[in-house]
Copies of this chain bind each other. A is one copy, B any other.
Amino acid sequence: MSGVGAPSRLLIRDLEQLATPRGSEAPLRRAALGDVEVIEHAYLLCEGDRIAAVGRMADLGTLDGDVAELDGRGRCAVPGLVDCHTHACFGGDRVEEFALRAAGAGYEELHAAGGGILSTVGATRAAGEDGLRAAVRRHRSWMLAAGTTTFESKSGYGLDRDTELTSLRVIADEGGIPTWLGAHAVPPEFDTADAYLDFALAEVLPAAAELAEAADVFLERGAFDAAQARRYLEACSKAGLALRLHGDQFTESGAIPLALELGARSVDHLEATGDEGVRALARSEVVGVLLPASALFLGRPMPPGHALVEAGAAVALATDFNPGSAFCESLPLVCSLAATQLRLSPAQALSAVTVNAAHVLGRADRKGRLACGYDADIVLLDAPDWRYLAYHLAGRVVSETVVAGVPSRLG
């Protein structure tokens, strides 16, 4: 019976495989990280915007009433991917800087050529609300085509009151989960990091805390040091924001101890993290967010993914999508890099881009799994085996994405 007002139903039938991570109260680690459940010859039933049932085709009973159907033959279902670390709200690009770097230019030359974060700050301030809205919408459509159904985006290319708040509003309006990256760089109108933080915490934080879910800081030589990061994060925490940190990207600068002390949700990057940092993170509840596309894009060393997983750390994977150091929205590429560069298994990579990423965003009760009651966000892979998600390097492996029970066919 499908009465007036009954939720619409969508049946995805005859799937080659359905693969989903296990559920848990806390981010998955150790054996649970790679313990993906795979159902062969499967179906998945959505009711409205939720998953109502998953199982083997052989166990699918008769469905009364109206049910839309999707043909799963030749395809596999995995949870809609969750990108827990992006910088998707910016004006302009950095293709000139990219070309100069490929030709061998170093940091100084790039800076002299007008490159770096501050060049994007200029373009972002100039873009205006309409320009930023169009940019986030375009980036979101790219993400969706790559299977990302939930994304976080940071602000951090405005660094003045209006542009930071506009960025957070636009991100939320376009379906993203906004993080206030008020401490990304020191804008040109301030002489010191401390003077800028005085302004940001007094003038921007009160309104940013109403718009964002979390705060983030770029703790790195040349950006903000550990004392400045602590000051920023403590103020943000008091204002009700969850905490995250960019840490150990180029140098070990104390991000992991600070993240542990302040109870941050995550510390992100970790390319420079050594054995002691690996052990400390593994003993904690803080998630290590690995961004291998950024390391690839910059031609830098990869983060110690295998060591973190072996030590028992909870890890997530994300794109770091941004114009300067990772112009890449593809979580499937990130899964390929995890398997080939970080020595994570495809199953560990899947958990890291779904349920663990959802934990970082405080959404693990609804996102990141194909299970009854979860949001009906689903990726259909053009593949006979779900592990093509990592195996089919830079391929058009995502054939269709379902968001809140609504399919949108891709090319």
Contacts and interface: CB of A to CB of B under 8 A. Distances in A.
A394 B330 contact: yes
B393 A95 contact: no
User: How many copies, total?
Assistant: 2
A102 B411 contact: no
Given A393-B293, A393-B296, A393-B328, A339 B145 contact: no
A328 B98 contact: no
A364 interface: no
Interface stretch (A78-86, A270-278, A283-291, A341-349): A341-349
Contacts of A142: 395-396
Interface in A99-113: 99, 101-104
A92 to B, nearest CB: 10
A98 B326 CA distance: 25
Contact of A410 (B93, B102, B411): B411
B387 A98 contact: yes
Contacts of A385: 93, 95
Contacts of A102: 338-340, 343-346, 390
A141 B345 CA distance: 28
Interface residues of A, number: 48
Given A104-B343, A346-B102, A333 B396 contact: no
Contacts of A329: 395
B410 A326 contact: no
A360 B5 CA distance: 64
A395 B327 contact: yes
Interface in A295-312: 296-299, 306
Interface string A135-157: 00000001001100000000000
Interface string A154-187: 0000000000000000000000000000000000
Nearest to A392: B327
B326 A393 contact: yes
A328 B395 contact: yes
Interface string A15-52: 00000000000000000000000000000000000000
A345 B298 CA distance: 14
A388 interface: yes
Interface in A52-108: 93, 95, 98-99, 101-104
Contact of A297 (B326, B340, B387): B340
A387 B95 contact: yes
Contacts of A332: 394
Nearest to A337: B296
Contact of A340 (B104, B146, B298, B409): B298
B327 A387 contact: no
B341 A394 contact: no
Given A328-B393, A330-B395, A333-B393, A340 B296 contact: yes
A214 to B, nearest CB: 26
Given A102-B346, A299-B340, 9 more contacts: A93-B384, A93-B388, A95-B388, A98-B387, A99-B346, A297-B336, A299-B341, A328-B392, A409-B411
Interface of A: 93, 95, 98-99, 101-104, 142, 145-146, 293, 296-299, 306, 326-330, 332-333, 336, 338-341, 343-347, 384-385, 387-388, 390-396, 409-411
5 contacts: A95-B391, A104-B343, A297-B336, A328-B392, A333-B394
Enumerate the 9 nearest inter-chain pairs by beta-carbon distance, A residue then B residue, closest first: A411-B411, A328-B393, A102-B339, A333-B394, A330-B394, A394-B394, A95-B391, A103-B345, A98-B391
